[in-house]
Amino acid sequence: MTPNRWNFPDLGYGIGLRSVHFGEILETNPPIDWFEIISENFMDTKGRPLYVLDQIAERYPIVMHGVSLSIGSTDPLDLEYLRKLKELAARVRSPWVSDHLCWTGVHGQNVHDLLPMPYNEETLRYTIERVKAVSEILERPLVIENPSSYVEFANSTMTEWDFLARLAEESDCGLLFDVNNVYVSSFNHSFDPNLYIDAIPHDRVVQYHLAGHTNKETHIIDTHNDHVIDQVWELYRRSCALSGGRSTLVEWDDDIPDLAVVHAEVLKAKALRSQTATAVGGAHGD
Amino acid sequence: MATSVALAKMQSWMQTYLVHFGTEEEALSDASRAVDTSVEEAAQYILPTKDLTAIDRLEIYRVQYLMRMTDALKIDFYGIVDYLGEDDFERLVERYVQKFPSRNYNLDRLSDHFPEFILQDEKLARREFLHDLARLELAVVESFAAENAQPLAVETIQAVPEDAWERAVMHPMPGFRLLSFHYPVNDYIQAVKDNTPRPKARRQHSWTAVYRRGYDVWRLGLERPAYELLSALVSGVALSTAIDQAAARVSKKGMEKQIFQWFNTWVTQGIFQKVEY
C-alpha cells in the first residue's frame, strides 16, 4: 500500500451526510465508518443542521467537502468564507478539507455550479498560487477533487490528469479522486479513463468519491442519483490497486434512498477493495 | 496574485452566457459583447464533440443554472409555488435572479430579496398578496437558521420582584419574527401544509408571530391587540407601559385576564429569551 503523503487516516467507508437521514442516524447509530458534509450547508446556520452535526461529530469522523471555494475563479479569494470554513473544520475536527478544481462565478456572482477551467500553463500557474494561499489560510493542505465536465476549451494545452498531477505536486495539495467524475468526463470528452487513473500521483490521493450518474446518450450528467455503475467500480478497483486504497465515500444527492441502501452501496467498495488487496498480495506472494 | 487575463475573459463570457434567459443567439451575442469580442470568435472558445456543438455543450450548464436556482427557492417558498404553479414560479425565478443573482457562497441566501422583488415585479398579478406570503415564508427560513438560545423559564418570570415589573423589558429569542400582513397568509400557508382548500386571497389584515422552540419553527396567528402588545414588548417598551398602551386600545372588560393569557402563552411557547429589570 502507498501511504498518502500526509499520513491522513484511512477512515474506511463513508457516505455523504444528508438531512433526510438525520433522524435515523441519531436514533440508530448505524455502523457507518464516517460521514462527509457539504461545508456550506453548515457554515451559517445556527439551527437544527448544526445541532445535528455536532451530535454526529461526537460519534463519527466528519470530513468537510465544499462547493463554493471557487479555486479557479479570477475573483479574489473570499476571506470571510475561508474564515468560516476554518472555524467549521475546527468545530467538527475535519482531518482534511476538500473542494473542486473549478470556478463557481465571477464579478461577485455565484452560479452554484462547478464550472470547468481551460487546462494550460497560464491557468495552472494561477491555480497553484491560489491553492497555496488557501492551504496557508486553512493551515492544512487543501484537498482538490477532479471535476466532471461537459465542455472542453480550445485553449487547453494539456490533459486534465496532467494538469491535476502538476497542480498537486507544485502546490503540495492532496487529491480527492472522484472515479465517477473520471468516467463521466471520459464519456463526454472521449478519452480513455484508464489513462487518467494511471497518471494520477496516488501518494497524493487521500480520499475517493463514488456516485451514480445519468446517461443522456450524447453526454453524461453527474447527477449523484443512482447506484454506481460497473465500469466505475472497475476504475475504482484499478485505482485502489495503485494506491492501496483510501477513505472511500458514496455521494447520493438526488432521489436519495434509505440510509441502508446508500450504506450498502459503499460497502460494495469495501468488498471490492479487499478482493483487490488479496489479488495484489497474491501476486507479490507468488 | 496576478489575475489571468485570458482566464478572466473566458469566465466573464461563459458566465454571461450561462445566466442568460434569452435564446441561444441572444445569450451568445450578449456574452460576446460582455468581453468585447465577436460572436464567431467567442463561439470557438468551446470545442464541439461528434454529437454536440459547442453551444449544445454550454446549454447543459445553462439549463442546470435555472433548475438549480428554481429548486433552491422552491424549498423556501412552497406557498408561492402553490399559488402560482410550477411554470409561473419558474418564470418568476428567471426574472428574480436576473435582478438579484446569488452573490453568496451559501445558496440559502438567494432568498434574501425575494419578497421585495415580488412587490416590484410588474409582470406578477396579486403582488401584494404574494409579497405578504413571501415575507412570512422568509421569516420561517430566517427563524430556522437563527442562533439557538435558552428560552426564559416560567420560574425566572415568577422571580421578578413585583416593584420591578414597571421597568421590566422583555427580550425575544433570536429566531423570533413578528409580522403584520394585508392578507391572511398564515391561513394560506397552513392550508397548503394541510392540503385543505386554500382561503381566497382577499384583503384582510392579519398578524403572525414566527418563533423557534428548540429546533422547530412555529407560526402563531395573533389578534391585533396581541400583536400590538407583543410588538411593543419586543421593541423594548417596559412591560407595564406596553400593557397600559394595549389596554387603552381595547375594551377594558376582561382585558387583564386576556393579557395574562397572551403573556402566559408567549412565555410557555418560548418566545422570550430574558427579562431585564
CA torsion sign for A7, A8, A9, A11 is negative
User: What is the model's pLDDT at position A281?
Assistant: 45
Looking at per-residue confidence, does A93 or B257 come out higher?
Answer: A93
- Contact of A118 with chain B, judged by CB distance below 8 Å, is answered with yes
Provide the β-strand partners of residue A63: A36
User: What is the model's pLDDT at position A285?
Assistant: 35
Is the per-residue pLDDT at B255 higher than 60?
yes
pLDDT, tens only, A63-82: 999 999 999 999 999 999 99
Is the per-residue pLDDT at A282 higher than 50?
no
The grid coordinates of residue A282 equal 497474491
pLDDT, tens only, A232-276: 999 999 999 999 999 999 999 999 999 999 999 999 999 998 887
Percent share of chain A, pLDDT over 70 = 96
Q: Confidence band (pLDDT; 50, 70, 90) for A97?
A: very high
Q: Average of pLDDT values for A56-64?
A: 98
Is the per-residue pLDDT at B181 higher than 80?
yes
ipTM of the complex: 0.93
Is the per-residue pLDDT at B2 higher than 80?
no
**What mean pLDDT value characterizes chain B?**
93
- Contact of B47 with chain A, judged by CB distance below 8 Å, is answered with yes
The grid coordinates of residue A215 equal 446517461
Domain annotation for chain B: domains and CATH numbers: 148-276 (3.90.930)
User: What is the model's pLDDT at position B5?
Assistant: 64
Q: Confidence band (pLDDT; 50, 70, 90) for B248?
A: confident
**What mean pLDDT value characterizes chain A?**
95
Nearest chain B Cα distance for residue A177, angstroms: 23
Is the per-residue pLDDT at A54 higher than 50?
yes
Give which of B51, B58, B3 is closest to B25, Cα–Cα. B58
Count of A–B CB contacts within 8 Å? 136
Contacts of B65 in chain A (CB under 8 A): 111, 113
Nearest chain B Cα distance for residue A98, angstroms: 15
Q: Confidence band (pLDDT; 50, 70, 90) for B4?
A: low
Contact call for residues B7 and A126 (beta carbons, < 8 A): yes
> Can you tell me the distance from the alpha carbon of B71 to that of B81, in angstroms, rounded to the nearest whole number?
11
CB contact under 8 A, B15 and A51: no
State which residue of chain B sits closest to A68, comparing Cα positions: B105
Q: A38: helix, coil or strand? A: strand
Residues near B228 by beta carbon (within 8 Å), at least 6 away in sequence = B245, B246, B249
Is the per-residue pLDDT at A147 higher than 60?
yes
- Contact of B60 with chain A, judged by CB distance below 8 Å, is answered with yes
Looking at per-residue confidence, does B258 or B89 come out higher?
Answer: B89
Burial letters B115-153, b for 16+ CB under 10 A, else e? bebbeeeeebeeeebbbbbbbbbbbbbbbbbbebbebbe
Lowest mean pLDDT among A9-18, B161-170, B193-202: B161-170
Contact call for residues B150 and B273 (beta carbons, < 8 A): yes
pLDDT, tens only, A186-224: 999 999 999 999 999 999 999 999 999 999 999 999 999
Q: CA separation (Å) from B145 to B40, B137, B176?
A: 47, 13, 11
Tell me if the pTM is above 0.90.
Answer: yes
Longest CA–CA separation in chain A, Å? 60
Torsion of CA A97, A102, A106, A112, to 10 degrees: -70
User: What is the model's pLDDT at position B101?
Assistant: 98
Nearest by CB to A190, which of B19, B49, B69? B49
Domain annotation for chain A: domains and CATH numbers: 13-285 (3.20.20.150)
User: What is the model's pLDDT at position A70?
Assistant: 98
Cα B251–chain centre separation: 35
Q: Confidence band (pLDDT; 50, 70, 90) for B165?
A: confident
CB contact under 8 A, A115 and B102: no
Is the per-residue pLDDT at A46 higher than 80?
yes
Contacts of B105 in chain A (CB under 8 A): 40, 43, 68, 78, 81, 110
> Can you tell me the distance from the alpha carbon of B92 to that of B110, in angstroms, rounded to the nearest whole number?
14
pLDDT, tens only, B106-155: 999 999 999 999 999 999 999 999 999 999 999 999 999 999 999 999 89
